Amino acid sequence: MRFGQYYNYYLSLHKNYYTRLLHCFGNIVTLCFIACVFMEKANLWWLLLSPFIIYPFAWAGHFLYENNKPAAFRAPIRAKICDWLMMWDMLRGKLK
């Protein structure tokens, strides 16, 4: 499946506004975490946790609002890329 097709599939799993909002919030928390690691000059090994920070927020959206399984269960790397792309599209007003 090409990436554009996968992204459309990914969006089909994220139809609910609150699910998308929780994903965006999780991405923002992830960015804050990364910034704190660098600002506090913490051990850089902490950065290995950064891909997993979004999961409680994202999975809450899937289980509470979408009633489906997150895309990260099947294709974690593609799903992570789509997370950021979905957030970017929301910020640009391409998605409501």
Q: Are 20 and 10 in contact (CB under 8 A)?
A: no
Whether 96 is covered by a domain: the verdict is no
- Looking at the structure of the chain, the number of domains it has is 1
Q: Per-residue pLDDT tens for 5-58?
A: 999 999 999 999 999 999 999 999 999 999 999 998 888 899 999 989 999 999
The rounded distance, in Å, linking the Cα atoms of 77 and 72 is: 7
The rounded distance, in Å, linking the Cα atoms of 66 and 74 is: 17
Query: Which residues span the domain enclosing 50?
Result: 3-91
Using the Cα atoms of residue 9, residue 13, residue 15 and residue 17 in order, give the sign of their dihedral: negative
Whether 72 is covered by a domain: the verdict is yes
Global confidence as pTM: 0.87
For residue 85, give the H/E element and its range: helix 76-91
Q: Are 37 and 47 in contact (CB under 8 A)?
A: yes
73 alpha carbon, distance to own chain's centre? 13
Whether 54 is covered by a domain: the verdict is yes
Q: Per-residue pLDDT tens for 55-82?
A: 999 999 999 999 999 888 888 899 999 9
3-class DSSP state of 10: helix
The rounded distance, in Å, linking the Cα atoms of 73 and 69 is: 7
